[in-house]
Amino acid sequence: MDPEESYAFEAELWLYSAAKASWHFVTVPEDISHRIRFLAGRTNGFGSIRVRACIGESRWSTSLFPDKATGCYFLPLKADVRRARAIAAGDRISVELTIG
């Protein structure tokens, strides 16, 4: 995979709650997820892929996680980013991802 492969998309932020933990995610669109999977080659634990993410002025390194049910990747959004961008579950946001 080209180490600087980049993608931009809009998606809704959603909340997953399990037991005592709550996690916020954005689902990477199906067409982009398929391209990433096709080009990714070797993945990390749980099939994750390292990325650099950008929402507005917030930039951070994280991983995408595959969802077997949908075939898409999930991008986790940590609390610091959500607070800095004043976003919450249900908001539609613009995301940029750089693979590698």
Contact 93/87 with Cβ under 8 angstroms?
yes
Closest among 26, 34, 8 to 92, alpha carbons compared: 26
Mean pLDDT of the region 25-46: 84
Query: Domain limits of the chain?
Result: 6-99
Closest among 21, 39, 28 to 64, alpha carbons compared: 28
Which pLDDT does position 18 carry in this prediction? 73
More confident residue, 29 or 20: 29
Which pLDDT does position 37 carry in this prediction? 85
- On the question of pLDDT at 19 being above 80, the answer is no
Q: What is the rounded average pLDDT for all residues in the chain?
A: 89
Residue 53 Cα distances to 6, 19, 21, 94, 96, angstroms: 10, 27, 22, 11, 6
- On the question of pLDDT at 38 being above 90, the answer is no
Which tokens go with 99? 């693979």
Which pLDDT does position 1 carry in this prediction? 46
CATH superfamily of this structure's domain 6-99: AF2212/PG0164-like (2.40.30.100)
